[in-house]
Amino acid sequence: MPREFSFETPRGPTAGVIDTPAGAAAVIVLGHGAGSGMGSPFMAGIARGLVEEGVAVARFDFPYMHAGRKAPDPAPALVETWRLARAVVADLTGLPLLAGGKSLGGRIASMAAAEGMPAEALVFLGYPLHPPGRPEKLRREHLADVRMPMLFLQGSRDAFAQPDLLAETVESLADRATLVVVDGGDHSFRVPGGPRDGAEIGAGLAPRVAQFVAGVLENGWHQPPP
């Protein structure tokens, strides 16, 4: 059964949920995108799919989402929320922990990791490399300071990541980064003629993420606990 948890942040209280299948060897903590919370169909779908793959999953809301506010909290507060969520999940599960999320959630995880937040690896579900139509405003400088493995799972039609710029970014990170492109996928991983339901789309990404998790564990890329 999913286990709920709550914690305090500088921007107010928030909450999350952990699903831990029997025999799970790792837990992945996922932050949500800017416009929808941990209970969105996409987030619920990928969590369900990962649990079916034997991976424990924790999801949490940033405080602005928990409070029903539309505008995201300032970046420093989002980073601190990530640190706090990671610490709570680490205490509750005791499992090797990966961090990541959808769009904003993944980018903030990478910022926290660049500042020293421990994690086995990072998983980006649609990394927002730049605002739509603004490829000159790149959000990647901090990635050079991330020393752990990174999975970029990205749609080829994602307006938040021009393909050539994303490929250049991943190449600059050398063997720390892996890019997996969903052909035809947009920022929500919708493919023309494919499923429209966010839960189904999220669940469909789970096997590739689980494969990455297994590879991280097999290669022993473990960071020491905080």
pLDDT tens digit string along 181-225?
A: 999 999 999 999 998 999 999 999 999 999 999 999 998 654 433
Q: CA-CA distance, 55 to 57, in Å (whole number)?
A: 6
Question: Domains, the chain, ranges and CATH?
Answer: 3-218 (3.40.50.1820)
136-to-34, 117, 127, 145, 161 alpha-carbon distances in Å: 21, 28, 16, 21, 11
Positive/negative CA dihedral, 77, 82, 87, 89: positive
- Cα separations in angstroms, 173 against 73, 105, 110, 194: 28, 20, 13, 32
Nearest residue to 105 via CA among 79, 139, 134, 141: 79
Q: Which tokens hold the place of 91?
A: 């205490």
| Residue 221 pLDDT | 52
**Model pTM score:** 0.94
Give residue 1's pLDDT: 76
Q: Looking at residue 220, what is its pLDDT?
A: 67
Q: Give the pLDDT confidence of 12-64 residue by residue, as tens digits.
A: 999 999 999 999 999 999 999 999 999 999 999 999 999 999 999 999 999 99
Model confidence pLDDT, tens digit, residues 82-119: 999 999 999 999 999 999 999 999 999 999 999 999 99
